[in-house]
Chain A
Amino acid sequence: MKNSQLYKGSLTTIIMKLLEENGRMYGYEITQKVKALTNGELNITEGALYPALHKLEGEGFLDVEVEKAGNRLRKYYKLTENGQKETVNRLAELEEFIKNMQSLVNSKINPEVQF
Chain B
Amino acid sequence: MKDDEIKKISDEEVEKLYDFTKKHFVYYYDLQVELVDHLANAIEEKWGEQPQLSFDDVLKAEFKKFGIFGFTGIVEKRQLALQKKYNKILWGYFKEFFKLPKIMLTLALILFLVKAMQYIHPITGGVLALAILLFSIVRFFVLNRQYNKKVKKTGRRWMLEETIFRCGGISFIVFIPYNFIQSLFKDEYTVTAQWIMATAIVLFALYEYIILYVIISKAEKLLNDTYPEYAVLKHN
What residues of chain A have their CB less than 8 Å away from a CB belonging to chain B?
26-29, 32, 45-47, 50-51, 54-55, 57-58, 64-66, 68-75
Contacting pair A50 B82 (CB below 8 A) = no
Q: Which residues of B contact A32 (CB under 8 A)?
A: 45
Q: Are B81 and A57 in contact (CB under 8 A)?
A: yes
Q: How many A-B contacts if CB must be within 8 Å?
A: 76
A64 / chain B contacts, CB cutoff of 8 Å? 226-228
Q: A47-B67, A47-B69, A50-B74 are in contact. Are A69 and B81 (CB under 8 A)?
A: no
Contact pick for B33, options A51, A54, A70, A73, CB 8 Å = A73
Say how far B76's CB is from chain A's closest CB, in angstroms: 9
Selected interface stretch from B6-14, B127-135, B147-155, B199-207: B6-14
Q: Are A65 and B228 in contact (CB under 8 A)?
A: yes
Which residues of chain B have a CB within 8 Å of any CB of chain A?
8-11, 14, 33-38, 40-42, 45, 65-67, 69, 73-74, 77-78, 81-82, 84-85, 226-229, 232
Can you show 17 pairs from A to B with CB atoms below 8 A apart? A26-B37, A32-B45, A45-B66, A45-B67, A46-B38, A51-B73, A51-B77, A51-B81, A54-B74, A57-B81, A58-B84, A66-B33, A68-B232, A72-B9, A72-B40, A73-B232, A75-B229
Chain A residues closer than 8 Å to B82, beta-carbon distance: 58
Known: A47-B67, A58-B85, A66-B229. A75 touches B78 (CB 8 A): no
B81 touches A47 (CB 8 A): no
- The verdict on A72 contacting B36 (CB below 8 Å), with A47-B74, A66-B228, A66-B232 known, is yes
Given contacts A72-B37, A73-B229, 9 further A-B contacts (CB under 8 A): A29-B41, A46-B38, A51-B81, A54-B74, A64-B228, A66-B227, A73-B37, A73-B232, A75-B34
